[in-house]
């Protein structure tokens, strides 16, 4: 018999979890989210009940944040330690502003920083309200005065040009309110896209706008959310930085956050806490866990013109195509009705366009298709290599591509920033688009290639 098991009728009357968990619930008489003690013949485990797709496996979320799968046949006893209450109350506490602290708006968009485990699905969902963010990070009111606002509660893979415009408008509202800085909480998967988008659309920005994410949700023991958010707050509080930046972990340890340039940063790992790296550039600054700041790169000068928002055209179709072996002309032709196309080439910026034997006849039609596209829309080259710059003058392949109308020579932008910049230029400077693509507008193109040690 299972100790502490709920009556079956009660369990069935409150089934709000997925069908995958129903059989386990009926057998064990408990809900996902319950804290339980599970005994086997050799050991006892305590954790939170999670859904399982395997009928033979019982899944626990341990205090460390990791999941443990136990064979059901080896379990000898389960005791419910604490029942899960699915109705959570948001914190209603407010913090009075303190004199001498900067006023910083936190615009909340969701993502892992503001996420927790869903005991209905077993996955992570964006769930925390802005008020809950403050209650989760009690050190924050000691660094800055802030009132969070919910803009959206979504994961970053779902954002598009409309959301970039919405965020830019919300930033503009806060600037009118004369805030000293803005922190935007954001999912990490496309955080670098949004950072670049805001860097371009917020023209002549006069305050710091720092995007912050987390690789691990805020209710996990290994979460990076706290350090990232507090380091962003310390950076705004203690410096005169102006512009758009990103704040994430410098290393896998909880020692420091790093402030990264909006248009020169990329997510380089799926789960590591130090996933974000500056590409062909250097970080702006390092912020230690205790708040000490080390400046690495000279900040931008204050703007000489009035702040304005130059939004994206949400109706645009901008493509991003990676070169690969056995490429087909149909892959390129699919973009014939688009407004712009970024080619993610190999090496210096190459595509398979050379007909050298009986097996490469398709390459001739690929070149013709690129040439046809370039007459209708801007076609821009970037590199899969990330580090280093495009050089279409070294090999004959690059020269043929230039003759076909491909632009982007000498750029060292990442493919993601190239995509964002192209969309923004087509939206705001369509006639000068090709000329401006290779001009440095927001720090997206480096004057010199920095030394980067792997």
List 109, 112, 146, 418, catalytic entry: 112
List 40, 121, 127, 189, catalytic entry: 189
Q: What are phi and psi of 195, to 5 degrees?
A: -60, -45
Q: How far apart are CA 183 and CA 109, in angstroms?
A: 11
Chain centroid to CA 386: how far?
Answer: 18
Show the 3-state SS of the chain.
Answer: CCECCCCHHHHHHCCCCCHHHHHHHHHHCCCCCCEEEEEECCCEEEEEEECCCCCCEEEEECCCCCEEEEEHHHEEEEEEEECCCCCCCCCCCCCCCCCCCCEEEEEECCCHHHEEECCCCCCEEECCCHHHHHHHCCCHHHCCECCCEECCCCCHHHCCHHHHHHHHHHHHHHHHCCCCEEEEECCCCCHHHHHHHHHHHEECCCCEEEEECCCCCCCCCCCCHHHHHHHHHHHHHHCCCCEEEEEEECCCCCCEEEEEECCCEEECCCCCCCCEEECCCCCCEEEECCCCEEECCCCCCCCCCCCEECCCCCCCCEEEEECCCCCCHHHHHCCCCCCEEEEEEECCCECCCCCCCCCCCHHHHHHHHHHHHHHHCCEEEEECCCCCCCCCCCCHHHHHHHHCCCECCCCCCCHHHHHHHHHHHHHHCCCCHHHHCCCCCCCCCCCCCCCCCC
List 188, 194, 369, 414, catalytic entry: 188
Residues 6+ apart with CB under 8 A from 406: 343, 370, 374, 379, 380, 381, 392
Contact status, residue 51 vs residue 17, Cβ threshold 8 Å: yes
Contact status, residue 107 vs residue 183, Cβ threshold 8 Å: yes
List 264, 267, 389, 421, catalytic entry: 267
Tell me if residue 189 is catalytic. yes
Q: How far apart are CA 71 and CA 42, in angstroms?
A: 13
Tell me if residue 251 is catalytic. no
Tell me if residue 267 is catalytic. yes
Tell me if residue 265 is catalytic. no
Contact status, residue 410 vs residue 438, Cβ threshold 8 Å: yes
Active centre residues (catalytic): 112, 188-189, 267
């Amino acid at each position: 018999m299972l100790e502490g098991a709920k009556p079956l009728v009660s369990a069935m009357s409150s089934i709000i979890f997925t069908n995958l968990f129903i059989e386990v619930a009926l057998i064990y008489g408990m809900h996902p989210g319950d804290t339980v003690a599970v005994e086997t013949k050799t050991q006892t485990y305590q954790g939170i009940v999670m859904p399982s797709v395997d009928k033979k496996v019982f899944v626990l979320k341990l205090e460390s944040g990791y999941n443990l799968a136990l064979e059901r046949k080896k379990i000898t006893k389960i005791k419910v330690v604490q029942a899960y209450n699915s109705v959570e109350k948001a914190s209603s506490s407010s913090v009075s502003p303190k004199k001498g602290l900067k006023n910083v708006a936190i615009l909340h968009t969701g993502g892992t920083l503001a996420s927790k485990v869903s005991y209905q699905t077993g996955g992570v969902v964006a769930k925390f309200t802005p008020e809950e963010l403050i209650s989760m990070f009690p050190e924050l009111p000691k660094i800055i005065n802030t009132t969070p606002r919910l803009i959206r509660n979504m994961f970053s893979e779902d954002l598009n040009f409309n959301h970039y415009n919405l965020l830019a408008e919300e930033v503009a509202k806060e600037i009118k309110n004369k805030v000293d800085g803005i922190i935007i909480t954001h999912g990490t998967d496309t955080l670098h896209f949004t950072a670049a988008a805001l860097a371009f659309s917020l023209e002549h920005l006069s305050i710091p706008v720092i995007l912050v994410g987390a690789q691990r949700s805020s209710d996990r023991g290994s979460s990076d959310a706290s350090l990232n958010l507090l380091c962003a707050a310390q950076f705004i509080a203690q410096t005169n930085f102006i512009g758009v930046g990103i704040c994430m972990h410098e290393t896998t340890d909880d020692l420091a956050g790093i402030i990264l340039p909006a248009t020169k940063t990329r997510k380089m790992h799926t789960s590591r806490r130090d996933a974000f790296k500056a590409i062909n550039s250097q970080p702006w600054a390092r912020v230690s866990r205790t708040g000490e700041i080390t400046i690495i790169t000279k900040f931008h000068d204050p703007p000489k013109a009035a702040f304005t928002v130059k939004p994206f055209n949400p109706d645009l179709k901008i493509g991003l195509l990676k070169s690969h072996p056995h490429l087909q002309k149909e892959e390129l032709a699919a973009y014939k009705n688009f407004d712009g196309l970024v080619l993610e080439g190999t090496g210096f910026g190459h595509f398979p366009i050379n007909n050298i034997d009986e097996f490469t006849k398709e390459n001739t039609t690929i070149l013709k298709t690129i040439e046809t596209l370039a007459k209708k829309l801007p076609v821009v080259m970037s590199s899969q290599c990330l580090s280093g710059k495009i050089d279409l003058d070294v090999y004959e392949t690059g020269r043929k591509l230039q003759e076909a109308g491909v632009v982007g020579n000498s750029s060292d932008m990442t493919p993601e920033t190239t995509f964002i910049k192209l969309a923004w230029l087509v939206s705001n400077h369509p006639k000068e688009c090709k000329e401006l693509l290779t001009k440095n507008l927001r720090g997206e193109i480096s004057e010199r290639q920095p030394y980067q040690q792997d």
